[in-house]
Amino acid sequence: MTSVEKRIGTAANFVDERLGAAGWVKKSLNKVFPDHWSFMLGEVCMYSFIILLLSGTFLTFWFDPSQRDVIYNGAYEPLKGLKMSAAYASTLDISFEVRGGLLMRQIHHWAANIFMAAIVAHLLRVFFTGAFRKPREFNWILGILLLTLGLVEGLFGYSLPDDLLSGTGLRITSAIIQAVPVVGTYITFFLFGGAFPGVGFIPRIFTLHILIIPGIFLAVITIHVMLVWYQKHTQFPGVGRTETNVVGHPILPVYMAKAGGFFFVVFGVTAFISAVASINPIWLYGPYTPGQISAGSQPDWYMGWLDGLVRMAPPLETHAFGHTISWNILIPAIIVPGIIFTSMALYPFIESWITGDKREHHLLDRPRNVPNRTALGVMSITFVLVALINGGNDILATNFDLSINQIMWFSRIGIFVLPPLAFIITKRLCLSLQRADRELLLHGTETGRLLRLPHGEFVEVHAPISPEKAFILQSHEQLVPLEIEDVDGRGVRRPGALKNKLQRRLSKAHAVSVPKVSEQELKEIEHH
Amino acid sequence: MKQLSRYRRHKAAGPLLLICALLTIGTTFSVASATVKQSQTTFARSASIEEGKQIFLKGCSSCHGLNAEGGAIAPSLIGVGAASVDFQVGTGRMPMADMSTQAVRKAPVYNEDETAALASYVASLAPGPAIPEESALNYERDGNSAQGGELFRNNCAMCHNFAGQGGALTQGKYAPTLMGVEPKHIYEAMITGPQSMPVFSDKTITPAEKLALIKWIKAAEAEPNLGGATMGRIGPVTEGLLVWVLGIGLLIGIAVWLTTRAR
Amino acid sequence: MSNELTPIDSSVVPQHAPRATDTNPVSEKRAEQQVAILFTLSGIGSVLLIYSYIFVAKDVFIFIPVMGNQNAQQLGIGLGMAMSLFFIGIAAIHWAKTLMPDKEIVNHRHEFRSSDEDRAELVHTVKEGVKGVQLGRRKLIKRSLGAAVGLFALPPVLLLRDLGPLPKKQLETTNWKTGTRLLTDPGNRPILASDLEVGAVVQVLPAVEHEDERPLSDIAKDPVLLIRLRPEDFQLTPEKLAMTHEGIIAFSKICSHMGCAVALYEQQTKHLLCPCHQSTFDVTRGAKVIFGPAARPLPQLDITVDSQGYLVARAPFNEPVGPSFWERNSQ
């Protein structure tokens, strides 16, 4: 035994005699994680979060979250002598007087953007592969919670510097809260500490941004990851992979080295982008005052789709009995997002109701094999993209010689027409991919070699595919519609006929798929 | 020299040499043409109204009318002043290339000489804003950049964006970028209000304030990219694009490499 | 429902072909060297960071194609940091991929549902426990508990009351009063009607006691945009026309949609555009909404001139400025 091993042994003994952790740790170190690039997206989220904690802490050492007026007298010449809030002035100081401060600010902001992008990418992966199905519905809901929290945390974060752009964002935020019937005006005055922009909002969102929300984040992320650990990771179908096992590399040493290394990679990439690309150049925006505005005032991309929805809303207000209800704000900024996030959170239960499938699932779907779900996903992406395009309509207009009015009308119509179109196209695409799989299974791949048969006909030689690939191509389940009778066995009408009808219809639509290759067909092929 | 000749056959040598040659030629030419321009300016001052009228009849009257009284597709030029002509013709906006949304900035059709003649002709029709004297444009000496920034954000940024990069107006019109615009032309635009742009009178934005504005714009133009590549200084849209393309793209690329088996 | 056919036994993990580093000592040696080089690159990055932090002055700029003039210190620290982090990661991953054992192993899953006995036992325990509380029997305790918890929920909400003042009439009023002078913003100079040519705009604020100390909450509702048109361009009702002065018309600069500053005035079309959500207002028709999500025209300020000829407000705004709110009487 070497001296190193001896020392480790002593330490391990010390811990185990007090915690009795050997059994659990031994089991954990043999925990298996399957390999697939898309399984790393969740890790990008977690690592960006750690980067955000580190860089954010650095920024708090200098940031002064106050709306108190100061006269700027720092290093940045074009703003010298101007009245501004202490929050804005201290952000300028971080950028120009603290060495590496601007870099840290940019790391923090880029990491936030990467965090949100990775959350979205991770969510799409989980959705399209059906990883949210039983028993992972809780984790899906936690994920939606993290996404929603991320939106709020991001909005608060980029609002803190109190520059002209973020102030404009807060102006819009306050108008949204103010539009809430009955209590809106009061809530705005309480939140902002008076009439907009008030005196209290920056310090208050600072506390939320650096303490409360990160605290909730930390707790939810911990549960999220612990559930993945406890429930074990899903895996793609393949030879040797079943619903009752998980195949991959153990934590020690391979996974630990790879995942640990990947943290440094994510941090390195974020630092690289922050070194070469500017983000949120607040010194160019100027300090916030409500009387000023810049052309092309946009939120960060993850709020951009909401802004796009607000832009395309119809000019509707109800004026009655001395009160005003702003539908042009409530619908795009509160009602539609509310419906979207709620149905997203409930989707696992909706799908299991439609399919009647209450079993556990640990093998992932190939998106083409569940055409309805995949089409629904692409439809949602299309919806958000149309809204996002409209959110940047002025930037698009100037850069591509278009008119904002054209883009607005395109989005107003497109938001209704394009998502259903995307649904239909995706569903058909999935079905033809299924057909292609079937062809591949039955006839193998085209080799490009031509063969002349004795009677003069030319045929292309097909090579059979590998057994591993063949296994994957027919590992999925044939979707079958639910059989729901309106009358039960004794001829009595069941309650909820309308609900049954809806379920039957949805189930039928969900189960549309190409028939799988049967055993007989496969045997016939082998005889050829 | 020996060391240099070693790189003679390097594959980058050709292109590098070409770039150097082009740079030399370009610099020489621009210095030469600058001197020519200067001598022309003095000459241009004495250009006659008659000469301007001849140019006008040939190049402008088909739209603006034989007496500059305006027509169906073009406004009257009576009373627009020399500053307006100098701006519109000097930035190449007039004569217009196509009549679609708005006159775009392009290489001027008339030289300084002819522009000055045109300006003096139009100025002779009725009084209007005059071309600012060069001595009145000493923004470096007389301007205050911070004050200019505040004026800019109050009066200009809503159309031209926070950094003077331009922005969208309605129906495909746009406020152009202010980068690379001559101080004289910025000044003229403010006092004449070309096309969609409103007029900023000397009484409401004083000449001193106008110089402050120009100083700020010029400072923004010259400002180094303090935080890295700026991607157009147009706000979060390009930032979001970069996150998805470079950030997530790069990370997914590395994740693919990470999860494939080594051979 | 299960897989109909299994052409190969699915329970067997296929044997992995060995990697080059498993069989060839030369490859193994090379991989080891590569990892070492990657770690060294990381070290170089750290040195670059330290060097840039200490020895590169703050005001040194270097020109880099595509990126333009860059601050050398910022770039040095950033690239150094990126290198030092990135190459540690790449080295660790390369090490794991090429040299660490790459044999996959199998874990088994168990169904998450507990055994029937456990579930029955849990139900029993819970039932016993609830019975012990006796809430069903002790109605008095149940009711007083409900009341106490209900009351307890109130204080936390009440304690937040002092976050801000009550709205009162703050959203309905501005600093524009009868006779308030219009001052340029910035500059705070009074304006003569003759100061504006046709096609001119001015951003103005009301004259108040301390013009240099306007609270931002005033600037959030007071700004007004002054525009001069040819009087014949107006298509206004007589009342609204009477609120103009010699072709000069004044609108609240705060958007009636979400409160952004509406100040994009197109002199030729006489349209005002809000850069936030593209609501477009027609100035000739009293800032009527002709495009976009805004539902109400911009409030118009009644203006005239005082004895010295300076522009003043003839009356306060006759409706609240800015975005809508529940208490707003918009009829």
CA angle, residues B147, C74, A51, in degrees to nearest 5 = 110
* pLDDT at B42 > cutoff 50: no
- The structural architecture, per CATH, of the domain C182-313 is 3-layer Sandwich (2.102)
Q: Which helix (H) or strand (E) holds C51?
A: helix C25-55
Q: What percent of chain A lies above the pLDDT cut of 70?
A: 98
* pLDDT at B40 > cutoff 50: no
Give how far B218 is from chain A: nearest CA, Å.
11
Average confidence (pLDDT) over A117-139: 95
The answer to whether residue B155 neighbours chain A at the CB level (below 8 Å) is no
The string of DSSP codes covering C210-226 is -GGG--HHHHTT--EEE
Residues B96 and B147 in one domain: no
pLDDT value of position B72:
81
Residue A34 and residue A259: Cα distance in Å, rounded? 12
Residues B227 and B147 in one domain: yes
pLDDT value of position A483:
80
* pLDDT at A285 > cutoff 90: yes
C-alpha of B248 from chain center: 36
Does residue B182 lie in a domain region? yes
* pLDDT at B1 > cutoff 50: no
Range of the domain at B97: 47-131
**Residue type, position A495, single letter:** P
Q: Which residues pair with C265 in a beta bridge?
A: C272
Q: What is the mean pLDDT of chain B?
A: 82
The answer to whether residue A400 neighbours chain B at the CB level (below 8 Å) is no
- The distance between the two most distant Cα atoms of chain A, rounded to a whole number of Å, is 95
Q: What is the mean pLDDT of chain A?
A: 91
pLDDT value of position B22:
57
Average confidence (pLDDT) over C301-309: 93
Average confidence (pLDDT) over A135-151: 96
For A144-191, the pLDDT digits (tens) are 999 999 999 999 999 999 999 999 999 999 999 999 999 999 999 999
Residue A327 and residue A323: Cα distance in Å, rounded? 13
The answer to whether residue A256 neighbours chain B at the CB level (below 8 Å) is no
Q: Which residues pair with C203 in a beta bridge?
A: C225
pLDDT band at C299; cut points 50, 70, 90 = very high
* pLDDT at B34 > cutoff 70: no
Last residue of a domain, one of B110, B131, B152: B131
CB A366 within 8 A of CB A476: yes
Show Cβ contacts of residue A222 under 8 Å, excluding neighbours closer than 6 positions: none
User: What phi, psi does A282 have (nearest 5°)?
Assistant: -65, -25
Residue scoring higher pLDDT (B8 or B128): B128
pLDDT value of position C154:
86
For B148-204, the pLDDT digits (tens) are 999 999 999 999 999 999 999 998 899 999 999 999 999 999 999 898 999 998 888
The answer to whether residue B209 neighbours chain C at the CB level (below 8 Å) is yes
Residue of A nearest to B255 (CA): A37
pLDDT value of position B19:
60
Facing A113 at nearest CB: one of B227, B247, B251: B247
Does residue B31 lie in a domain region? no
pLDDT band at B21; cut points 50, 70, 90 = low
User: What does the block give as tokens for C191?
Assistant: 């304006």
pLDDT value of position B9:
55
Residues B229 and B199 in one domain: yes
Average confidence (pLDDT) over A11-24: 88
User: What does the block give as tokens for A132?
Assistant: 């949210």
Q: Buried b / exposed e across B176-189, counting CB within 10 Å, b at 16+?
A: bbbbebebbbbbbb
Facing B259 at nearest CB: one of A37, A165, A297: A37
For A464-517, the pLDDT digits (tens) are 888 888 888 888 888 888 887 767 667 777 777 788 888 888 998 888 888 888
Facing B225 at nearest CB: one of C67, C268, C269: C67
Give B227's contacts in chain C (Cβ within 8 Å).
71, 74
pLDDT value of position A484:
73
Determine whether the interchain pair C195/B201 forms a contact, defined as Cβ–Cβ distance below 8 Å. Answer: yes
Residues B91 and B173 in one domain: no
> A379-383, B146-150, C8-12, C97-101: which has the minimum mean pLDDT?
C8-12
Residues B186 and B115 in one domain: no
* pLDDT at A386 > cutoff 50: yes
Average confidence (pLDDT) over B7-36: 54
Determine whether the interchain pair C220/A196 forms a contact, defined as Cβ–Cβ distance below 8 Å. Answer: yes
Give B230's contacts in chain C (Cβ within 8 Å).
68
For A302-343, the pLDDT digits (tens) are 999 999 999 999 999 999 888 999 999 999 999 999 999 999
Write out the E strands in A392-457.
Answer: 445-452
pLDDT value of position B258:
93
Residue A510 and residue B28: Cα distance in Å, rounded? 72
Residue C284 and residue C309: Cα distance in Å, rounded? 24
Residue A382 and residue A380: Cα distance in Å, rounded? 5
Give how far B144 is from chain A: nearest CA, Å.
9
pLDDT value of position B18:
57
Residue C47 and residue C41: Cα distance in Å, rounded? 10
Last residue of a domain, one of B109, B131, B153: B131
pLDDT value of position A145:
96
C-alpha of B186 from chain center: 8
According to DSSP, residue A210 is labeled I
Residues B151 and B107 in one domain: no
* pLDDT at B4 > cutoff 60: no
* pLDDT at C4 > cutoff 50: no
* pLDDT at C298 > cutoff 90: yes
For B210-251, the pLDDT digits (tens) are 999 999 999 999 988 888 888 888 989 999 999 999 999 999
pLDDT value of position C11:
52
Q: Which of B159, B225, B250 to mutate to test the interface with C (most CBs of C within 10 A)?
A: B225
pLDDT band at A526; cut points 50, 70, 90 = low
For A229-270, the pLDDT digits (tens) are 999 999 999 888 888 889 888 888 888 999 999 999 999 999
* pLDDT at B20 > cutoff 80: no
Give how far A442 is from chain C: nearest CA, Å.
13
- What is the bridge-based pairing of β-strands C224-228 and C248-252? antiparallel
Write out the E strands in C36-99.
Answer: 61-64, 68-71
Residues B77 and B156 in one domain: no
**Residue type, position C181, single letter:** R
**Going from the N-terminus, what domains does chain A have, and what CATH number goes with each?**
31-302 (1.20.810.10)
* Boundaries of every domain in chain C: 20-98, 182-313
Q: Which residues pair with A241 in a beta bridge?
A: A238
- In this complex, how many residue pairs, one in chain A and one in chain B, have their CB atoms less than 8 Å apart? 198
Show Cβ contacts of residue B227 under 8 Å, excluding neighbours closer than 6 positions: A95, A102, A106, A277, A278, A279, A281, C71, C74
User: What does the block give as tokens for A257?
Assistant: 């080295």
* pLDDT at B33 > cutoff 50: no
* pLDDT at C139 > cutoff 50: yes
Does residue B8 lie in a domain region? no
User: What phi, psi does C219 have (nearest 5°)?
Assistant: -65, -15
Q: What is the CATH number of the domain that holds B117?
A: 1.10.760.10
pLDDT value of position B78:
87
Q: HEC states along chain B? A: CHHHHHHHHCCCHHHHHHHHHHHHHHHHHHHHHHHHHHHHHHHHCCCCHHHHHHHHHHHCHHHHCCCCCCCCCCCCCCCCHHHHHHHHHHCCCCCCCCCCCCCCCCCCCCCHHHHHHHHHHHHHHCCCCCCCCHHHHCHHHHCCHHHHHHHHHHHCHHHHCCCCCCEECHHHCEECCCCCCCHHHHHHHHHHCCCCCCECCCCCCCHHHHHHHHHHHHHHHHCCECCCECCCCCCHHHHHHHHHHHHHHHHHHHHHHHHCCCC
Please tell me the total count of domains within chain B: 2
Q: Looking at chain C from residue 265 to 284, which residues have their Cβ under 8 Å from any Cβ of chain A?
A: 275-279
* pLDDT at A24 > cutoff 70: yes
pLDDT value of position A519:
76
Q: HEC states along A243-299? A: CCEEEEEEHHHHHHHHHHHHHHHHHHHHHHHHHHECCCCHHHHCECCCCCCCCCCCC
Does residue B262 lie in a domain region? no
Q: What is the CATH number of the domain that holds B192?
A: 1.10.760
For C234-291, the pLDDT digits (tens) are 999 999 999 999 999 999 999 999 999 998 999 989 999 999 999 999 999 999 999 9
Residue A414 and residue C321: Cα distance in Å, rounded? 33
**Residue type, position B55, single letter:** I
The answer to whether residue A394 neighbours chain B at the CB level (below 8 Å) is yes
Determine whether the interchain pair A121/B248 forms a contact, defined as Cβ–Cβ distance below 8 Å. Answer: yes
Residue C297 and residue B196: Cα distance in Å, rounded? 21
Give how far C243 is from chain A: nearest CA, Å.
23
The answer to whether residue B186 neighbours chain A at the CB level (below 8 Å) is no
> A288-297, B38-47, B53-62, B78-87: which has the minimum mean pLDDT?
B38-47
pLDDT value of position B45:
46
